Amino acid sequence: MSHPNKRFTKVLVANRGEIAVRVLRGARQQGYKTVAVYSDADRDALHVREADEAVRIGPAPAKESYLVIEGIIAAAKSAGAQAIHPGYGFLSERADFAQAVQQAGLVFIGPDPASIEAMGNKSASKIRMIAAGVPCVPGYQGDDQSDETLKAEALKAGLPVMVKAAAGGGGRGMRLVHDEAALLENIRSARSEAANAFGSGQLLIEKAVVDARHVEIQVFGDRHGNVIHLGERDCSIQRRNQKVVEEAPSPAVDQALRLKMGAAAVAAAKAVNYVGAGTVEFLLGRDGSFYFLEMNTRLQVEHPVTELVYGVDLVDWQLRIAQGEKLPLGQDEVLDNRLGHAIEVRLCAEDPRQNYLPQTGKVLRWQAPAGEGVRVDTYLESGKSISPYYDSMQAKIIAWGEDRETARARLLKALDGTALLGVVSNRDYLRAVLATEAFASGDFSTAFVGKYFPQEKIAAAQPPARQVLLAAVALYLDDARGLAAEHGLGGEMLGWHSSHDSPADFKLKWRDKDYDLELHAEGGHGFSAVVAGEKLEVQAEAAGEGGFRYLAGGVQGTARYARDGDALWLDADGAVECFVDRTYAPAEAAAAGSDGRITAHSDGKIVAVHVKPGDEVQKGQTLVVLEAMKMEFQLAAPMAATVEAVSVEAGTQVKGRQLLVQLKPAG
């Protein structure tokens, strides 16, 4: 593989969001000129402003912009960039992209196309790993893809088994099967999902290692034949095979096991002549046995924990290796540098209480935490929108400490200091995960989320604490320090006066629950509220922009808030909640869909429409499939009905709450 003799001086980052910001800053720090690319949805995004230059590459949908190889290469040429960094996701693990970059005479900051190709197909890579002496999970990765063969091989490996898409990733085309009776059905549905998601229905079978941990090794290779590893990361806390919390080092790995797993990962990388940053993923059994899962031929989302523990800048290393330099450090030096512990969480725009439904909309307020050992990688800004076109991950919050418990405590504190208001996020869920005894003990497996955070437990949302409810009321009503006046709400609102004690009725809605409150002014800037027959006193005063202090029911607290029309987003008492003032609102239909209106739950694209006007449908029958943030959602009929009207077709882009189908209830 030949490289231009002249060193590159200008780097294009073929990505968006937090990773684009991270790579652009890293490249700029090392003296490179930088070029960003953007779709129409990202015209004003932070990564565009971080770069020296930016090039528009197309409309908002990724397949018309960030996934168009020719468009990215044309952008690099027009801006005079001699090298392209792919980030992760999008085109980062596409051998044809690496190939096209090199054929265009540009440097691809990553491995060669042949290495990506060799590791891209899970079946082919497993055959290669077995040949290289890397331990692999027993199973089947052959060419005979008949239902009967796959079933027989699954039984041979021993149930439970994982049925996996060979070309897959992101948890799609993947099934865990415990019973022989369910094998065929799961094989067929995995094949169909894989064909839709990846254009290939090829499957492989693996014995499921029960109660295993997911431990991955960071590897790095140069063009001088050197390959080293930078220890391990534990990514066992996952939901639907997507990582939620990542840490380095793993609580389950000692020095002897680290060297053993590291040696296996280096052997895996050498087997495909690996150059640059990559990650070899393993399943680690309770007995210390480990098995190769797959190799990610790129920088990982969770690379910051390795950087903090080993004191390195992996993007700087990627740039050096791409210039043809040798690895900056040898294996022993790297391992000697290991210090302390780091934990990362992925902050996503999703609602855990609604089965992690992706969320879109305007960010009313974003405040990143600060503090000793805390690092935040993000592209979020107040006033900008989270679009439906890309991944739901918005930020990574990472904390380092001298030991694991210090890192955990700092990360909990950092989450308390994180404000994302205006769009529902998983912040409180992440906090709850870190706070469990099971996480604190370090003794857990990939079964963690299913065991400690089953969906029914999360969905049973606890109503806000009384003091939080009262803090919300205080914000709506307390004009003594101008909190309300600032937002154009006078003290005469709802007939509530600070000068005399005339009780006022106040209705506040939280999710599907209505609160009827009776309020009395108490002089000064306090008032009392009667909630469910109990009288509680409340005081509130401003404390900086978008924040206030309150004393409610004897509990003193601080809160942050943001307003959006009648909606009030409140971050208080360790929880973010959205309240709506319903005092003068008209009555609503009893239940979602009971008026026959089927609406989009978020911005997105209609993938399929399964009904037409005049069709009779049953309760639970799928009417429309909506795609948002790389996931598909089946929108079902809430009752037996007749379809009156269908206002969308496959391919239509829709907004949240847009009417899709009108039903007429049966009978």
Cα–chain center distance at 190: 23
- 47: burial class by Cβ within 10 Å (0-12, 13-18, 19+)? buried
Q: How many Cβ atoms are within 10 Å of 288's Cβ, its own excluded?
A: 13
**Residue closest to 647 by CA, chosen among 657, 633, 662, 637:** 662
* Nearest-10 Cα torsion for 375, 378, 380, 386: -140
Amino acid at 238: Q
Using omega within 30 degrees of 0 as the cis cutoff, is the peptide bond preceding 249 cis? yes
- Among the options 128, 191, 239, 298, which is catalytic? 298
Q: Provide the edge-to-edge strand list for the sheet that holds 616-617.
A: 597-599, 659-665, 641-646, 616-617
- 565: burial class by Cβ within 10 Å (0-12, 13-18, 19+)? exposed
Q: Provide the edge-to-edge strand list for the sheet that holds 290-296.
A: 290-296, 276-284, 213-221, 227-239, 242-248, 341-348, 393-401, 374-378
Look at strands 83-85 and 107-108 and give their pairing.
parallel
Q: Provide the edge-to-edge strand list for the sheet that holds 653-654.
A: 631-636, 622-628, 604-609, 653-654
Please answer whether residues 469 and 259 qualify as being in contact, where contact means their C-beta atoms are separated by less than 8 angstroms.
no
Between the two ends of the chain, the Cα-to-Cα distance in Å is: 72
Residue 659: strand pairing partners = 599
For residue 298, indicate whether it is catalytic: yes
Exposure class string for 108-134: b at 16+ Cβ within 10 A, else e: bbbbbbebbbbbbbbbbbbebbeeeeb
DSSP string covering 50-93: HSSEEEEEESSSGGGTTT-HHHHHHHHHHHT--EEE--SSTTTT
* Dihedrals phi, psi of 370, to nearest 5 degrees: -135, 170
d(CA 172, CA 492): 55
Please answer whether residues 519 and 526 qualify as being in contact, where contact means their C-beta atoms are separated by less than 8 angstroms.
no
Query: Hey, which residues are catalytic here?
Result: 298
